[in-house]
């Protein structure tokens, strides 16, 4: 299982890298999912990305982006929810949510949002019971990248059970990809304080990644 997960993540990064090198709005690199998914699917509400500053141990200020979401299991069976969230920007950077994020960031976000039901990226993982009464609210967090980012996309996997075997466009090898929610955003301008950066949703679709 670990080898399979590592392979999927490796290929996913390769696919996103090829996409990011061209344009954050290029969908050609991704195979199309089924019009009607043959597998289970979770309902999700995603809030707009926001930025927060955290004082580091040495007194310096670090900025982080976060996206909060609410997921509901509308199916007739309990499901294991393991979200995998990745960010790709127009600088060609691929960022896995949660990496290089100090433990002090989540409590600060939870306090700002004022939602006592908000779960950390670790707490949100687990069996998701059926129905709205058992909805879970989580958050994806990542460090603000250096440089002027004018567009980025957030990929959320783990919301659907649909998979495909496709040829890796970089190697030609057959790999397993999953139905993934892709959220596109524009962030025009260059601001010293990321929280002042305007964020405009540019579209959302599902891709196999």
pLDDT in tens, 150-172: 999 999 999 999 998 888 778 88
Positions of the chain with pLDDT lower than 70, given as ranges: 1-30
Query: Measured between alpha carbons, how far is 160 from 74 in angstroms, rounded to an integer?
Result: 12
Residues in the chain: 209
The string of pLDDT tens digits covering residues 36-46 is: 888 999 999 99
Name every residue whose Cβ is closer than 8 Å to that of residue 137 and which is 6 or more positions away in sequence.
68, 69, 70, 71, 115, 117, 118, 119, 124
**Prediction pTM value:** 0.82
């Amino acid at each position: 299982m670990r080898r399979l997960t590592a392979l999927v993540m490796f290929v996913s990064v390769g696919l996103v890298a090829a996409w990011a090198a061209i344009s954050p709005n290029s969908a050609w690199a991704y195979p199309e999912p089924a019009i009607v998914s043959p597998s289970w699917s979770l309902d999700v509400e995603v809030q707009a990305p926001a930025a927060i500053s955290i004082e580091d141990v040495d007194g310096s200020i670090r900025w982080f982006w976060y996206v909060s979401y609410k997921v509901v299991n509308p199916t007739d069976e309990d499901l294991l929810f393991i979200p995998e969230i990745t960010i790709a920007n127009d600088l060609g950077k691929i960022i896995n949510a949660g990496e290089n994020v100090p433990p002090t960031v989540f409590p600060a976000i939870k306090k700002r949002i004022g939602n006592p039901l908000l779960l950390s990226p670790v707490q949100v993982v687990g069996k998701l019971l059926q129905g709205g009464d058992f909805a879970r609210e989580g958050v994806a967090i990542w460090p603000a990248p250096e440089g002027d980012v004018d567009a980025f996309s957030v990929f959320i996997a783990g919301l659907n059970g649909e998979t495909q075997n496709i040829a890796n466009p970089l190697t030609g090898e057959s790999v397993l990809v999953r139905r993934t929610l892709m959220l596109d955003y524009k962030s025009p301008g260059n601001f010293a304080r990321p929280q002042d950066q305007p964020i405009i949703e540019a579209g959302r679709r599902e891709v196999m990644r």
